[in-house]
Amino acid sequence: MRFLLHAKLQVPSRIQASFAKARAALERDDLRSPDLKKLSGSGYFRLKLDYDARLLVSFVEHAGKRACLALEVIEQHAYDRSRFLRGTRVDEQALVSDGIAEIEAAARPLRYLHPERAEFHFLDKPLSFDDRQSELCALPLPLILVGCAGSGKTALTLTKLREIPGEVLYVTQSPYLAESAANLYYSHGYQNDGQNVSFLSYRALLESIRVPKGRPVTLHDFAGFVARHAQSLKFTSTHQLFEEFRGVIGAAPEGPLELEQYLTLGVRRSIYATEQRPAVHAVFAKYRDWLAESSLYDTNLVAHSHARTAEALYDAAVIDEVQDLTNAELALVLATLKARAAFLLCGDANQIVHPNFFSWSAVKSLFYSTEQAAVSAPIHVLEANYRSSRVVCQVANALLKIKNARFGFSRRPHPRIVRKASALLRVRGHDARRSCFEALPAHGAFGRAPPPSLLERSVRTRRNQLELPTRAKAVAARAGRPLPSEQRRNPRHWRGRPA
């Protein structure tokens, strides 16, 4: 059995020898020597280190093998002060040891466990970082993290957040994500006296500086405005115009674009052709007046005004899902920082929920003081996937290879081929190792047929779906009843027949 240590575990020097002895006993699967006993009503166990010191542990299982996780040392039998037990009172005299069966029942499955590293982290559950994640976790700020869904970027970001001292701002567009991040951060009673973290949605950040009048404008509200100007906007749609206002005209950090600036934009920085832009810009001026009349506000316009009076309150900022924020909104976050380079950006340009012409190069130019620093600043990509099954990763990689072969590679740091890392092998009951998607070519040599056994299985399944068994047909004929398929095709013909 492997014995893993919590990254923040502190073992007093007086019990180092007994701790090492208990560790060696568990590694050779000796449960009796360290007096291992389960704490009733929880998934935790305790090891006896000396007369009044106990070690709180739990067990996990990965790839059919168990591992023991050393969580914290409990001194003077003070179980009620344990971070993980959270006030639970434990009667030492009532504890019993049920042996290996109790461990097997309490072991939590873990999708990934590093084959060599003996250190783990803990949010709402144990986390074992791979080599890339551990490397990034050790890097200082500033830091830019990019990863697909399931790459562990949120877990890595929150783990990194716990290490940043002082007043720290966590901000994201979604209120739900801000609340979820706070729950993960404070899970199992975590406390850090060396920092004070403010988990805010972007709207909450605006209101913490000065409460705007009204509420943020939505696409539904904007549709009512566009209906008033339908005659002059026949060349566009509501969604396109809203994206242009939010992501182009109003997204510049210095303020809304003037007409001359708007006309000089390249074709990749605007939805509309040059001859259509004067009409669009004229409607934008009416849009600003309409916002004031309707008690609505555009977060870009509010960010421009707030940035002039914002105070530098935070020692560092963590911006999650940065791709959903415009440069104008990000500039306000910068204005609240005491040190311009104390930031951690986390996101994925392929998961944009609020379209805004997001560009990593534009974000880097905003956050770094010089052009040379912005160009040379690395973007760290997490390529492993811990959420999807092997089948899903194989199909996604095969489709991405087709796209790259047909249309070329993207300039973004993402998407790229993902590496399957978790132990999840099945999808809806199908064995990923026997999936026909394994027959997809690795380098574009298409045309190879799936394994014959899979074809035969598909044909046999289809035949069973289309035909009733011969015995069922004979039974139905003798009873004078229609076959279910015939009765469905012609219900009138069988109406009144004896059942």
* DSSP code per residue over 167-233: EEEEEES-HHHHHHHHHHHTGGG---TTEEEEEEEHHHHHHHH-PPSSEE--HHHHHHHHHHTGGGG
SS3 155: helix
76 vs 450, higher pLDDT: 76
Beta strands in 321-440 (DSSP E): 343-347, 380-382, 384-385, 419-420, 426-427, 430-431
In angstroms, rounded to a whole number, what is the distance separating the alpha carbons of residues 36 and 55? 10
Both structure tokens of 411: 């300039």
pLDDT given at position 479: 57
Q: Go through 190-226 and write b for each residue having 16 or more CB atoms within 10 A of its CB, e for each that does not.
A: bebeebebbbbbbbebbeebeebeeeebeeeebeebb
Confidence category of residue 245, pLDDT binned at 50, 70, 90: very high
What is the pairing mode between strands 426-427 and 316-320?
A: unpaired
In angstroms, rounded to a whole number, what is the distance separating the alpha carbons of residues 316 and 329? 16
pLDDT given at position 255: 94
Task: Flag whether pLDDT at 439 surpasses 50.
Answer: no
Q: Go through 317-339 and write b for each residue having 16 or more CB atoms within 10 A of its CB, e for each that does not.
A: bbbbbbbbbbbbbbbbbbbbbee
Question: How buried is residue 140: exposed, middle or buried, by Cβ count under 10 Å (0-12/13-18/19+)?
Answer: exposed
Both structure tokens of 342: 């104390």
- Percent of the chain residues past pLDDT 90, beyond the cut: 57
CA distances (Å), 146 to each of 150, 357, 401, in order? 12, 17, 20
pLDDT 10s digits, 197-219: 999 999 999 999 999 999 999 99
Helices (H), 377-435: 390-407
Beta strands in 364-431 (DSSP E): 380-382, 384-385, 419-420, 426-427, 430-431
**Cβ 419 vs Cβ 394: under 8 Å:** no
SS3 341: coil
SS3 8: coil
Helices (H), 257-298: 259-263, 277-293
Task: Flag whether pLDDT at 460 surpasses 80.
Answer: no
In angstroms, rounded to a whole number, what is the distance separating the alpha carbons of residues 171 and 161? 12
Task: Flag whether pLDDT at 92 surpasses 80.
Answer: no
Task: Flag whether pLDDT at 66 surpasses 80.
Answer: yes
Query: How large is the average pLDDT for residues 60-78?
Result: 92
pLDDT given at position 454: 46
Least confident range of 103-112, 167-176, 276-285, 412-421? 412-421
Task: Flag whether pLDDT at 487 surpasses 70.
Answer: no
In angstroms, rounded to a whole number, what is the distance separating the alpha carbons of residues 104 and 1? 12
Residues forming beta bridges with residue 430, ordered by sequence position? 427
**E strand or H helix that includes residue 297:** strand 296-297
Task: Flag whether pLDDT at 430 surpasses 70.
Answer: no
Task: Flag whether pLDDT at 450 surpasses 50.
Answer: no
SS3 456: helix
Is the pTM for the entire model greater than 0.95? no
Both structure tokens of 144: 């830019």
Long-range contacts at 427-433 (CB < 8 A, ≥ 24 apart): 427/389, 427/391, 427/392, 430/391, 432/389, 432/390, 432/391, 433/390
Both structure tokens of 322: 């940065």
Both structure tokens of 153: 């970027």
Sign of CA dihedral 149, 155, 160, 164: positive
Cβ atoms within 10 Å, residue 149:
13
Least confident range of 101-110, 405-414, 470-479? 470-479
pLDDT given at position 332: 96
Confidence category of residue 468, pLDDT binned at 50, 70, 90: very low
pLDDT given at position 442: 42
Query: How large is the average pLDDT for residues 70-89?
Result: 89
**Cβ 250 vs Cβ 327: under 8 Å:** no
Phi/psi at 37 (nearest 5 deg)?
A: -140, 145
